[in-house]
Every structure is written in structure tokens, then in C-alpha cells.
Amino acid sequence: MKLQNEYDLVVVGGGIVGAGVFRDAALHGLKTLIIDKKDFTSQTSQSSSKMLHGGIRYLETMDFELVSESLHEKNLWLKIAPHLCQEKSFYLPIYETSKRPMWMMKIGFFLYDFLSGFQNSPHRMLSKEQVLKDFPSLNPIGLKGAGVYYDAIVEDAKLTLEVIYDGLKETNCHALNYWELKDLKPMGEKLWVSLVDGLTGETQEVLTRDLVFATGPFTDQLLAKWPWLQWSPQLLPSKGSHLWIKKEHLPIKYPMVMTPPDGRVIFVIPQRGSVLVGTTEVQNETSNYFDLTPSQKEITYLLDNLNQNFPNLLNGPITQNQIQSAFAGIRPLVKDGNTQNLGKTARNHKTYWPKSNIGVVIGGKYTTFRVMAQDILMPIMKRHQISYNPEATKRPLRQRSLISPFKKVTITKELMTEIRRTELVRTPQDLWVRRLGVANQNHWQQSDEIGPYIDHGLSLF
């Protein structure tokens, strides 16, 4: 792709936050370039729990502002991108040994609805008998009942991609995946940016008025490359892992929230013919944050909790043989006063300005990416005397993925060719994992729609 010689803004990082910054800037008429060292959304932003949610557990730490903001954002995306997200009822079982009794949990669920401006579907409280009717394999010992509240599931990778596609509808806006920021230097009031294509070795240089780092867990490592930025580490990286379980071995109809004694939260969410189980909250054991996989300890932890909560499955306990695939990513938590408890570290985001025309945004939640983009962009707009419209990004996305996550689509050679042409595909993994939404061979072998076209997909490259 031939780039402009000069841009108003370069966004480094093609996850959900970078995508949000790119789209917001593009909608305000800025000539904007977004780059990512890997494929867009291939790291943390495709490694979430596949939810848009307020974070009901953050009520316990009284992060009411964050919960309210998240709930309003969740409900906004349910309205403007219903093809990518769906509201679901989440069951939270309450036992005699639970930290909070039924009456206290009812107050919490009401507060959750209140903080949404009552946009959520209203919560319900169920008896033990009602819960076991919906979840016959659930552990009945000590069960008092359950609360049912409403959040949303989302195809996280496709939402990120469609946000980028929407920004590309604007004039002089470009997106490059597999391009790395090689060097960065001040040049008068502008910045000189050197880029290299990780697949071909091609290099390009551009000037930009402003630059934003939206690089999530990679921020501390990346900014350390330029001592003149005087960046001090701000992150407390937390590794989160998930498992996809075969639906026939965990036949549940509704999402469930498990609350282990260690204070973590594990979601069990049926979707797309499988069941997603996660997440963990552990420190990453290496300095590598790219393309992570769960450790055996994390896998065992998730399976143990599953089998403790569902001891009456018809096919017996769930073992590693029932895992279709697994994935892991790093959450870019911002350091606070409680740096040792990853589960209780706040999910608030922060913005920094190492230089007047270099911004950094880190932390936050997937659900709040649009607000994060606004917070880093508004100072840029103000400095350049550009009127900022906070309503601009509430518009529906203008280009849908050719494969929708909640709609059955017949795969054809022609469709795969069109996806490659229009959806920024550069490698086979981009096509299979993020555009078709098939995690790995264990998933696509079960699909009569996809299986026959595997060889054709590979032959496109």
C-alpha cells in the first residue's frame, strides 16, 4: 500500500482500543494511519471472555463509575451492532458457603440494573428448584438459589475489525497489519516515523503531527526503546486463559458465573456450538506477551472448578480430551495501591503524554474502548482547535464482516476469495481464525460448511 507522506495521526496498536482511536479520529476528518506488528486484534483483543459487560464483581470494590460507564457502553453496542453482540441471561448460583447471602446479592443485582439506567433487562432471583431445572448437572449441595442478571456476549475479534473497516471509509485513512514501528524521532513540531513490514521486509517512512500508543500490555516494553520519552513502567500484566469445551460434554443452555473460594470469577458461556470457560488471573511467567497459550496449571485450575460445580454431567467429569482449543492473553492492568491482587486491580484506564504530541492510553476494559478513545483524542483535537463531536462514534458501523458470528453462512470459494480481498487478510491464520471465526482444526473439522474449503483457503496465499 502506498501511504501518504504525512498524516495528522498515527495510531500504534491494532487491538480494540487502537481501532477505536483510529475510527474516532477518521470520523473527525483526521488523516489517520493505524499499524500493528501482528494481525489486527490478534493478541489481547481476541483473547477476552467474549463479553460486553459492566463487571458485576466491581460492585464489591465500589467502582460504581466504571460499572455504570461499562453498562452504558454495552447497551450502546447492543443497539448499533446487534450482528456482533447479543444480550444473554447470566446465572450466578448462591450457596450456603457463598460470601454474600441471597438478600445481599439481590441488592447488588438491583444496583447493577440501576447503574445501567435500567437499560438492562431486569434481574431475577430463582429458588434452588428453579436453578436445578435449568442446570440439572449443577452441584445441588448447599445451593440456596441464584440471581439472574443480563450482560452481552460479543465476537471480540470481529468487532475490532469492523471498527477499523469503518474508519477506512474516510478519505486518506489507512490500516497496515504486520507493520512494526521501527523508529520514532522528533522533527520540529512533527514526528518522523519509520515502519517495516514484518512479512516482506519492506520499509516506509512518514511524518505525523501526533502519535498515539494503544499497545496494551506491550506498552512498557515498547516505549522503553526510546529513552527520550522518559517512560516509567505503568503496567501490572495479568494473564487470562480460556478453554473451549465441546458442547456435548457440557450441555448447558445459559451462561453461568462460577465464584471459586479464591475470589476469582470464571464464566461458563455457551456460544457458537461450544462452551467458553475462563478466565484465570495469574502473572505471566515470561517476558514474551505474544501468541500466548494457557499453562497446564491454568488448564487444571479451570477443569477442576468446572467439575466441582458440575459434578452430575451425563458423560462424567470433563477432561482435557474434551477441550477443543485454548487461548490466553495479557490484560494491561494499570498499577495501583494493591499491586499483588490481580483480581482486585482496578480496570480503569489512564492516559499519559510523554510529549505534547505523543499520547499513551492503557488499562480499561474491552467494553469501554470507545470512551478510552475519546479521552486520548480530545486533547489532540483541542490542541489543534478542532471541534470534537462525542456523538460521532455512536453511529452504526458501515462495513460488516462477510462472516457474521451468530448467523449461519455457507462457505464458498468465492466468499473466501472476497474475504481476502476486502478484510485486510495477509496470512492463512488471519482468514481462518479472525475472519471465519474458527479457532483451530478441532473446530473446523466439525463444520461441514468449512471443512471442504480448507485447502482452497490455504491456496489463496
When pLDDT is averaged across residues 187-207 and rounded to a whole number, the result is: 97
- Are 41 and 84 spatial neighbours (Cβ–Cβ below 8 Å)? no
Distance in angstroms (rounded) separating the CA atoms of residues 83 and 138:
31
Closest CA to 249 of 268, 274, 225, 229: 274
Is the backbone peptide bond immediately before 279 cis, with ω within 30 degrees of 0?
yes
Pairing assessment for the beta strands 6-12 and 203-213 based on DSSP bridges: parallel
When pLDDT is averaged across residues 162-185 and rounded to a whole number, the result is: 98
| Helix segments in 316-393, DSSP class H | 369-383
Domains of the chain, each with CATH number or no CATH: 6-45+157-234+344-394 (3.50.50.60), 236-334 (3.30.9.10), 413-459 (no CATH)
Distance in angstroms (rounded) separating the CA atoms of residues 364 and 366:
7
DSSP 421-451: HHTT--SHHIIIIIIS---SHHHHTT-TTTG
CB proximity list for 171: less than 8 A, separation 6 or greater: 31
- Are 74 and 115 spatial neighbours (Cβ–Cβ below 8 Å)? no
CB proximity list for 48: less than 8 A, separation 6 or greater: 156, 329, 366
User: Which comes out higher in pLDDT, residue 272 or 149?
Assistant: 149
- Are 14 and 41 spatial neighbours (Cβ–Cβ below 8 Å)? yes
User: Which comes out higher in pLDDT, residue 430 or 408?
Assistant: 430
Please report the pLDDT score of residue 161 as a whole number.
Answer: 98
| pLDDT, tens digit, 9 for 90 and up, residues 339-353 | 555 555 567 899 999
When pLDDT is averaged across residues 146-158 and rounded to a whole number, the result is: 97
Distance in angstroms (rounded) separating the CA atoms of residues 205 and 328:
34
Closest CA to 248 of 314, 339, 175, 329: 314
Burial 71-103 (b: 16+ CB within 10 A, else e): bbbbbbbbeebebbbeebbbbbbbbeebeeeee
Burial classification of residue 409, based on how many CB atoms lie within 10 Å of its CB (0-12 exposed, 13-18 middle, 19 or more buried) = middle
Is the pLDDT score of 2 beyond 70? yes
Query: Strand, helix or coil at 129?
Result: helix
Please report the pLDDT score of residue 343 as a whole number.
Answer: 53
| pLDDT, tens digit, 9 for 90 and up, residues 96-111 | 999 899 999 999 999 9
Is the pLDDT score of 441 beyond 60? yes
| pLDDT, tens digit, 9 for 90 and up, residues 68-107 | 999 999 999 999 999 999 999 999 999 999 989 999 999 9
Distance in angstroms (rounded) separating the CA atoms of residues 113 and 435:
34
Distance in angstroms (rounded) separating the CA atoms of residues 32 and 7:
6
Q: What is the dihedral of CA 53, 59, 61, 66, to 10 degrees?
A: 50
For the chain, first and last CA: distance in Å? 18
Burial classification of residue 458, based on how many CB atoms lie within 10 Å of its CB (0-12 exposed, 13-18 middle, 19 or more buried) = exposed
When pLDDT is averaged across residues 245-270 and rounded to a whole number, the result is: 94
